C-alpha cells in the first residue's frame, strides 16, 4: 500500500537543507507547526520583516549564499539600528521550478554562516513553488531591555548627527556593474562591487546606539532620503555637511572622475550603515563605544529646530537631489 | 528644489492602506524600522511563517479581502493548534505592477476585519514590486504561558484522537470548482466553495487544546498525511476509523455520488481543522471545553504503540491513499 507516512518534496527539501539550520531548541528541528522562544527576562521583542526578489533586489546569477546573506542582513541592519540583539528568524521561500539542489545547498550554506556570525538561527518558515522569481521573505526577531528600543523619533535640536562606515559604495558599485566607465584600481572596483552584493550590517554598533543615541535608523534607501524620514518623524530639521559624509577611497575616486555622482552616493540605496543622532553630552561616550566595537563613526551635522534635512555643499548652499531616496517599488 | 522629504510610492501606499491597521503601540504607526512588543509576563513567544501565492494558493480573480484573510488564517490556524493566542503579525507583500488602489483597499479591509476578529494587529513589514504573481508572506506572533506550547510530539499509546469541525470540505470545494458534476443543492455547493475560499481557523479551541491535548497540529495538507506526521514525530502509531471522521452534509452528498472521493476528503488539503490526541483521563474535560468554546470535536480513533497512522474502512481494512497528503510544492 502507498505509505501514509510518505514525505512530500517540500518535507524532504526542508529536512535536507533547512532543518540543520534550526539549532534553537524552540525550533523543534522544523518538525512542528510553529516555534517557541523564551524572551530574555525584562526584555521586549523587536520585530522586522523584509523580502528580496530575484531581478529586483539581486541578480539571478548571483551566488545563492550571497543572496541568502543579503536577505538576512537587510533585516539584521534594521535590528542594529534599533539597538537590538538578534534572536533568530523565520523564512518564507518561494522558488521557481528550475531551482536545483546545488542552489539550495549554497543558499543554506549562506544562512548557516550568517547564523553563526550574527547569532541568528532559523526558527521556522515555509517553502513554496512560484511561477515568478525567487522571493525570499525574512521575519527577524530580536530583543532589547524593555523600553530601550531606539526609534526614529527622538532627535532633539542640538543633537549631533553621526553615520557609521562609509556611504554610497553600494549604489556606486551598482552604477559600475551597469557599465559606467571610470578609472579605478581593481581593488577599488572590487570594493564597490562587494558592497552592493553583500551588506555588512553594523550589528556590532547596536549597543553603542542603544546606550547613547536619541534617534536612529539604518540607511537602506539612501542617506539623504532616510535621514529626512528620521527628521520628519522626530519633528526636527537638520544640517548635514556633505563634505563630512564619509566616503571610501573607491567612492572618492568615482566622485573625483564624475563629481555629480556625489549626489548619487548620498541618495542611492543599499548602504546598510546606521545614521543616528546623539545628544552633545553623550557624544564622547558614543565615539568611545563605537571605537571599542570596532565600527568607524563620523559626525556629519547637527539637528536644528524646524523641518527638513538639508545637505550643504562646499559653498554652504543646499544640494539639490533629483530624488532623495531610492525605491525598489 | 526637490524636497528631501518627498515620500516614495511605497511610503504613500503604506501610509494609506497599512498604517491604519497598525493599531498596536509598538508598531509605531509603521513609521519606524521595526516594531516592539512586550511579551505577557511568564509567557513564551510562538512564531509561525507561511506565504500564499497567486495562481498557486488562490485564484487571481478571488476577492482581495478573502485573499488577505486566507493569508492570515493559514497562520492563525497553526497558532490555534499549538494552544497559542495571537499577538499580531508581520506582512511582506510582493505586488505585480498592475495591482491598483481598489485591490489594495479590499486587501487592507480583509486584514482589518480579521485583526478585530482574531485580535491580531499588523506589527510591520514591507511591500515590493514583483514581475511574478502576488506573493503574501505572513509571520504570525503569538504567546502561550511558558512551557505550554502543544507540540506534534507527545502522543502516547492509549490517547484518543480528536478532530475539530468537518474534514474534506475545502478539497471537495476545489474539485467542484474545477468542474466535477455532482447533484448538490445550491447551499451545499456554496458551503464547499466557501470552505476552499476562506479558512475558518479554530482559534476558539486553542485553550481547550492547551489544557488537555498531549499532541496537536492543524490539518492543512490533508488529515491522513498530517496525522501521519504527528504520529511519526510522537513515535507512535494510530488507528482511525474513517466512518467516524466528521463530514459535512455537503461532503457526505459528494461522497454518496462518488464514493472514492472519500479518500480525497481524507487526504486533500486546506481543512484548517485541528487534529489532536488527548489522554483518556482528560477526554471529558476536552469535550466540555470544546463545547464551551462552541467548536464541535469528534473522536475518530486511538493512538497505539508502533508506527503508522492507519485509516480503517468499513470492512476494518486500511484504506489505500494515492497520496496521503496534499502539497503545493
**CATH number for the domain that contains residue A243:** 3.90.650.10
Cβ neighbours of B31 in A, within 8 Å: 152-153, 229, 233
Do B109 and B36 lie in a common domain?
yes
Q: Under 8 Å CB-to-CB from A297, ≥6 apart: which residues?
A: A162, A163, A164, A205, A286, A287, A290
By the CB < 8 Å criterion, does A6 face chain B?
A: yes
Q: Which residues pair with B309 in a beta bridge?
A: B238
Do B42 and B78 lie in a common domain?
yes
Q: Which residues pair with B114 in a beta bridge?
A: none
User: Hey, are the CB atoms on B130 and A127 less than 8 Å from each other?
Assistant: no
Secondary structure (3-state) at A307? coil
Do B114 and B183 lie in a common domain?
no
A129's grid cell: 513553488
Q: Is the ipTM of this complex over 0.85?
A: yes
User: Hey, are the CB atoms on B8 and A149 less than 8 Å from each other?
Assistant: no
pLDDT tens-digit map of B3-29: 333 467 888 888 999 999 999 999 999
Q: Kindly report the backbone phi and psi dihedral angles of residue A311, in degrees, each rounded to the nearest multiple of 5, phi listed first.
A: -105, 120
Do B102 and B197 lie in a common domain?
no
- Chain B, residues 226-255, CB within 8 A of chain A, namely 228-229, 232-233
Q: How far is CA B249 from CA A185, B7, B166, B189, B191, in A?
A: 75, 54, 10, 11, 9
* Lowest mean per-residue pLDDT among A35-44, A154-163, B37-46, B315-324: B315-324
Q: Are strands B273-278 and B160-164 parallel, antiparallel or unpaired?
A: antiparallel
Do A35 and A169 lie in a common domain?
no
pLDDT tens-digit map of A222-239: 999 999 999 999 999 999
In a mutational test of the A interface, the residue from B47, B135, B136 whose CB has the highest number of chain A CBs within 10 Å is: B47
Q: How far is B12 from chain A (nearest CA, A)?
A: 11
Do A67 and A182 lie in a common domain?
no
Look at residue B1 in the predicted model and tell me its pLDDT.
27
Average pLDDT score over chain A: 93
Beta carbons of A156 and A302 less than 8 angstroms apart: no
Do B133 and B175 lie in a common domain?
no
User: Hey, are the CB atoms on A13 and B329 less than 8 Å from each other?
Assistant: yes
CA dist A9 and B221 (Å) reads: 13
Q: Which residues pair with B276 in a beta bridge?
A: B162, B216
A4 falls within a domain: no
In a mutational test of the A interface, the residue from B9, B19, B34 whose CB has the highest number of chain A CBs within 10 Å is: B34
A203 falls within a domain: yes
Q: Indicate the pLDDT class of residue A325, thresholds 50, 70 and 90.
A: low
A268 falls within a domain: yes
Q: How far is A57 from chain B (nearest CA, A)?
A: 10
B164 falls within a domain: yes
pLDDT tens-digit map of A119-145: 999 999 999 999 999 999 999 999 999
Do A178 and A272 lie in a common domain?
yes
Q: Where in the sequence is the domain holding A130, given as residue range(s)? A: 9-145
User: Quick one: closest CA in B to A34, which residue?
Assistant: B48
B109 falls within a domain: yes
CA dist A71 and A134 (Å) reads: 12
User: Quick one: closest CA in B to A26, which residue?
Assistant: B46
Do A175 and A139 lie in a common domain?
no
Domain end point (choices A88, A111, A145): A145
Do B128 and B13 lie in a common domain?
yes
User: Hey, are the CB atoms on A53 and B132 less than 8 Å from each other?
Assistant: yes
Domain end point (choices A122, A145, A168): A145
By the CB < 8 Å criterion, does B150 face chain A?
A: no
Considering only the beta carbons, identify the residue of B4, B10, B26 that sits closest to A324: B4
Q: How far is CA A41 from CA A84, A87, B42, B87, B123, in A?
A: 15, 14, 9, 19, 22
By the CB < 8 Å criterion, does B63 face chain A?
A: no
User: Hey, are the CB atoms on B6 and A323 less than 8 Å from each other?
Assistant: yes
Cβ neighbours of B307 in A, within 8 Å: 5
Do B130 and B210 lie in a common domain?
no
CA dist A278 and A209 (Å) reads: 9
CA dist A150 and B57 (Å) reads: 38
Q: Under 8 Å CB-to-CB from A88, ≥6 apart: which residues?
A: A24, A27, A37, A120, A121, A122, A123, A141
Do B122 and B205 lie in a common domain?
no
| Residue B9: exposure state from Cβ atoms within 10 A (0-12, 13-18, ≥19) | exposed
Query: Between A249-257 and A169-177, two packed helices, what is the crossing angle to 10 degrees?
Result: 60
Segments of chain B assigned E as strands: 35-37, 43-53, 85-95, 122-129, 135-145, 160-164, 215-219, 237-241, 273-278, 297-304, 308-312
User: Hey, are the CB atoms on A217 and B31 less than 8 Å from each other?
Assistant: no
Look at residue B301 in the predicted model and tell me its pLDDT.
98
Produce one character per residue of B186-197: b if its CB has 16 or more CB atoms within 10 Å, e if not: eebbebbbebbb
Is A60's pLDDT higher than 90? no
Q: Which residues pair with B16 in a beta bridge?
A: none
A97 falls within a domain: yes
The CATH number that applies at residue B89 is 3.30.1330.10
Contacts 24+ apart (CB under 8 A), A95-98: A95/A127, A95/A128, A95/A129, A95/A130, A95/A134, A96/A129, A96/A130, A96/A131, A96/A132, A96/A133, A96/A134, A97/A129
Cell numbers 482581495: residue: B64
Domain end point (choices B145, B176, B203): B145
Considering only the beta carbons, identify the residue of B33, B131, B151 that sits closest to A82: B33
Segments of A65-182 assigned E as strands: 85-95, 122-129, 135-145, 160-164
* CA nearest neighbour of B89 among B20, B138, B23, B19: B138
By the CB < 8 Å criterion, does B40 face chain A?
A: no
B151 falls within a domain: no
By the CB < 8 Å criterion, does A187 face chain B?
A: no
- Residue scoring higher pLDDT (B56 or A157): A157
User: Hey, are the CB atoms on A153 and B91 less than 8 Å from each other?
Assistant: no
- pLDDT tens-digit profile, chain B (329 residues): 233 334 678 888 889 999 999 999 999 999 999 999 999 889 999 999 999 999 998 888 899 999 999 999 999 999 999 999 999 999 999 999 999 899 999 999 999 999 999 999 999 999 999 999 999 999 999 999 999 999 999 999 999 999 999 999 999 999 998 888 888 999 999 999 999 889 999 999 999 999 999 999 999 999 999 999 999 999 999 999 999 999 999 999 999 999 999 999 999 989 999 999 999 999 999 999 999 999 999 999 999 999 999 999 989 999 998 765 655 44
B324 falls within a domain: no
**Overall number of domains in chain A:** 2
Amino acid at each position: 500500500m502507498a505509505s501514509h507516512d510518505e514525505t512530500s518534496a517540500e518535507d524532504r527539501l526542508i529536512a535536507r537543507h533547512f532543518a540543520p539550520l534550526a539549532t534553537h531548541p524552540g525550533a523543534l528541528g522544523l518538525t512542528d507547526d510553529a516555534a517557541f522562544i523564551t524572551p530574555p527576562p525584562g526584555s521586549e521583542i523587536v520585530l522586522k520583516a523584509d523580502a528580496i526578489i530575484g531581478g529586483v533586489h539581486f541578480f539571478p546569477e548571483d551566488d545563492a549564499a550571497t543572496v541568502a546573506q543579503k536577505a538576512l542582513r537587510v533585516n539584521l541592519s534594521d535590528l542594529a539600528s534599533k539597538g537590538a540583539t538578534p534572536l533568530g528568524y523565520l523564512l518564507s521561500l518561494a522558488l521557481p521550478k528550475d531551482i536545483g539542489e546545488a542552489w539550495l545547498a549554497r543558499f543554506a550554506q549562506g544562512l548557516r554562516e550568517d547564523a553563526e556570525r550574527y547569532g541568528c538561527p532559523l526558527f521556522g518558515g515555509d517553502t513554496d513553488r512560484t511561477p515568478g522569481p525567487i522571493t525570499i521573505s525574512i521575519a527577524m526577531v530580536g530583543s532589547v531591555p524593555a523600553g530601550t528600543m531606539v526609534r526614529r523619533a527622538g532627535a532633539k535640536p542640538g543633537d549631533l548627527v553621526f553615520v557609521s562606515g562609509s556611504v554610497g559604495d553600494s549604489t556606486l558599485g551598482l552604477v559600475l556593474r551597469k557599465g559606467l566607465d571610470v578609472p579605478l584600481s581593481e581593488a577599488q572596483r572590487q570594493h564597490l562591487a562587494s558592497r552592493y552584493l553583500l551588506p555588512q550590517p553594523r550589528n556590532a554598533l547596536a549597543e553603542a546606539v542603544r546606550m547613547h543615541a536619541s534617534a536612529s535608523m539604518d540607511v537602506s534607501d539612501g542617506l539623504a532620503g532616510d535621514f529626512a524620514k528620521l527628521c520628519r518623524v522626530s519633528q526636527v530639521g537638520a544640517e548635514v555637511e556633505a563634505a563630512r559624509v564619509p566616503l571610501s577611497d573607491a567612492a572618492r575616486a568615482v566622485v573625483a572622475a564624475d563629481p555629480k555622482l556625489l549626489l548619487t552616493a548620498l541618495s542611492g540605496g543599499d548602504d546598510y550603515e546606521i545614521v543616528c543622532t546623539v545628544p552633545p553630552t553623550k557624544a564622547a561616550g558614543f565615539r568611545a563605544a563605537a571605537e571599542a566595537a570596532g565600527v568607524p563613526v563620523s559626525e556629519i551635522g547637527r539637528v536644528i529646530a524646524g523641518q527638513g534635512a538639508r545637505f550643504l555643499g562646499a559653498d554652504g548652499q543646499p544640494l539639490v537631489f533629483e530624488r532623495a531616496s531610492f525605491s525598489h517599488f
